Structure 1
C-alpha cells in the first residue's frame, strides 16, 4: 500500500508540479490579480492562467477564486501556498548554501527589527558582519515582536526585537524560537541644555515638572516611568511629546531642555555623538530582553548563521550581562 501511494505521488503529482508554476501561483496571491502577477513576472496573463490551471488539474481542486476585483486563494490554495512557500524557501536556502560554499563572503540576510534596534543595536552587528563578509547583502525591514507575519511567511530570515516569552504579556506564536541576546535597561536621559545635566543626585520629585518626552501609555517604557513615580506618591510628569521614535527623542534632548527615557544600548551609542548622559535617577530594576527570533524547523543558510554569531558576539560586549537563554 505504501509503495502504491509513493508510486501515485510520483506519477500523478510529483512529476507534474513544477516549481515555476508554484512561484507563479504564489505571485498571483501576493499581487492580488493575474494581470499584476503577469507584469511582475514578465509573462502574459494567459501564461499565468495556464500555470494555475495546470496546478488545479494536477491536484483536482480549485485554487483560485476569480472575480472582477482580482483573485484570492481558496482554502485549498491556502494550503498549497503555505506548503509551497516553505518548499521554495528551502530551495532558495539550498542555492544560497551552494553559493556560500563557492564564496563564503557572499549571501543575503533579511532582518526585521523595530527602530530602537535598527538605530542602536543593529549598527555594531552590521559593522562586525560586513568586516567578516564584505560582499554580503543585509536587507532590513521594520518589524515588531507583536507583528511577526513577515517571519512566519518566510519573507525574512530573523527578527531582533525587545521582549520575549513571558515578558509584558506579549503573545508570541509557538512556531518561533526566541533567544535572548542580552538584557537592556531603561534610563532617564538628558542633554547639555538641561539644567539637570551635571547634577550628581536627582530625586524624581525634582524633575516631575520638567518637559518630558515619553512613549504612549501602555508601552513598556511608559509603564516603568509610571511605576517609578507612583512608588514615590507622585503623579506622572509633564509630557510635552509622546513618540516611539528614538531619533526624535535623541535629537530633541540634544538640542533642547527636554528629559526622556531611552534604552541604555541607545544611549551608549549616542552619548558621545550628541553629548547625552543618563541622569542619576532611580527607576525600578526591570529586565528588558533584546531577543533574536527565528522560525522553528526552518533551515537557515550559512550566511544567516554567521550573522547570528556576529549578533551574539556584539551582545557579549553590551553593558548589561549577556544571556544565553533560549525558549521554545
Structure 2
C-alpha cells in the first residue's frame, strides 16, 4: 500500500460510492473495486460495508481514513515547503569564473540573481582555471563558468556557448584584414601564459597539429589585464577571445584577427561539484546563467560567440 492507494481510498470515502469515485477519477468501476479489494486483502480487514446505496466505512475503515488524511496533509505540506524554498533559492551561493567571463557576465548576472533570489547571499570569485577547477572539485564553489579544459575530471558540466579565439596585436602591427591563418602564428612574437594554462595548451596544440614552432616573446602568468598592457606596450601579441579586448578595440588601441583554417574556438561551460549538480536551487541558478548568456550573445555584448542549446 502506498500514498496513491490511500488517496484512492479517501476518494471512495468522500464519494460514498465506488461508481461515483470512478467517475471523478476518470477510471472504471471494476478497476477501483479491484484496488480496494487488494488493499483490504493486504491489510486483512474489511474497510467498507457495501449496499445498494453505496459504501460506508467500517471501524477499521475509519482508522485508515485518519491515516490517509494525515498522510495527504503531510505530503501537501512538504510540497508547499519545497516549492517555497525553491522559489527563494539557495541561502548562500558562490559563483566563479575566469577573468574574461567574469568581466562580461558578473554584472548582468548579479542583477538577475538579485531580482529572482533577493534573500540569497551571493559571492563572486575570479581566478585561473587551475585554481577554480580544484576549488570546484573540493566543493568550495557552487557553480563555475569556465572555459572547458581538455580533462574535466569528476566535475559535472553543461556546455553553454562556443567562443572564437583571436590574435590580438598592437594597433600598428603590420597585419591587415579580419582573419589570420593559424600557421601564420609561427612568425608572430607571442605573449602567452606558461604551459599549465589553457590558452598556452591550446596554442601549443595548434602548433603541433599544423607543424610549426611558437615564437614566445614573453610568458605572463598574471591577469589578462597585465598581458594586454604588455601588448599595448608593443612587447608582442597574444591570443585571446575578442570579448577580452572590447574596450581596447573600440578605442583603436589594439587589432583583433580571428584565427582560421580551421576556425579556432573554445567551449564555455557550467561546472558543478558532481554531488551538487541538482541540489539546493542550483538548477534554477544555472537556468538564470544560461538566460543571461543568451541575452549577452543576442545583444552582441559577448562578441564572437555562439550559444549551445541547453
* TM-score relative to the length of structure 2: 0.55
Which of the residues 166, 169, 185 maps onto 1:190?
A: 169
Aligned residue number for residue 160 of structure 1: 145
- Asked if 1:253 corresponds to 2:237, the answer is no
Quick one: distance in 2 between partners of 1:96 and 1:249?
47
Aligned residue number for residue 289 of structure 2: 311
Once the two structures are superposed, what CA deviation does each residue of 1:74-105 show, in whole Å capped at 9, x if it has no partner? Answer: xxxxxxxxxxxxxxxxxxxxx9996776xx59
Partners of 2:181 and 2:261 within 8 A in 1 = no
Aligned residue number for residue 110 of structure 1: 94
Shift of 1:182: 1.0
Mean CA deviation greater in 253-262 or 147-156: 147-156
Shift of 1:188: 0.8
User: Structure 1 pair 232/159, CA: closer, same or farther in 2 (3 Å)?
Assistant: closer
Once the two structures are superposed, what CA deviation does each residue of 1:270-301 show, in whole Å capped at 9, x if it has no partner? Answer: 64367444225436435422111223454533
Q: Secondary structure at the match of 1:236?
A: coil
- Is the strand fraction higher in 1 or 2? 2
Partners of 1:112 and 1:143 within 8 A in 2 = no
Which of the residues 172, 177, 193 maps onto 2:153?
A: 172
Quick one: distance in 1 between partners of 2:90 and 2:251?
32
Quick one: distance in 2 between partners of 1:301 and 1:125?
18
Which of the residues 240, 243, 252 maps onto 1:262?
A: 240
User: Structure 1 pair 220/155, CA: closer, same or farther in 2 (3 Å)?
Assistant: closer
Structure 1: tracts of 5 or more residues without a match: 1-94
- Asked if 1:321 corresponds to 2:306, the answer is yes
Partners of 1:193 and 1:257 within 8 A in 2 = no
Aligned residue number for residue 36 of structure 1: none
Q: Secondary structure at the match of 1:222?
A: helix
Quick one: distance in 2 between partners of 1:266 and 1:187?
10
Mean CA deviation greater in 147-156 or 248-257: 147-156
Q: Secondary structure at the match of 1:279?
A: strand
Partners of 2:93 and 2:142 within 8 A in 1 = yes
Partners of 1:111 and 1:159 within 8 A in 2 = yes
Aligned residue number for residue 41 of structure 2: none
Quick one: distance in 2 between partners of 1:143 and 1:233?
29
User: Structure 1 pair 116/97, CA: closer, same or farther in 2 (3 Å)?
Assistant: farther
What does 1:266-305 correspond to in 2, within 5 Å?
Answer: 266-268=244-246, 271-272=249-250, 275-282=253-260, 284-298=262-276, 300-302=279-281, 304-305=282-283
Quick one: distance in 1 between partners of 2:101 and 2:161?
12
Quick one: distance in 1 between partners of 2:267 and 2:215?
26
Partners of 2:96 and 2:132 within 8 A in 1 = no
Once the two structures are superposed, what CA deviation does each residue of 1:104-156 show, in whole Å capped at 9, x if it has no partner? Answer: 59953212333343344444433443455566532123473676454455432
Aligned residue number for residue 138 of structure 1: 122
Structure 2: tracts of 5 or more residues without a match: 1-80
Q: Secondary structure at the match of 2:307?
A: coil
User: Structure 1 pair 297/220, CA: closer, same or farther in 2 (3 Å)?
Assistant: closer
Aligned residue number for residue 18 of structure 1: none
Once the two structures are superposed, what CA deviation does each residue of 1:3-62 show, in whole Å capped at 9, x if it has no partner? Answer: xxxxxxxxxxxxxxxxxxxxxxxxxxxxxxxxxxxxxxxxxxxxxxxxxxxxxxxxxxxx
User: Structure 1 pair 252/121, CA: closer, same or farther in 2 (3 Å)?
Assistant: farther
Larger Rg: 2
What does 1:37-52 correspond to in 2, within 5 Å?
Answer: none
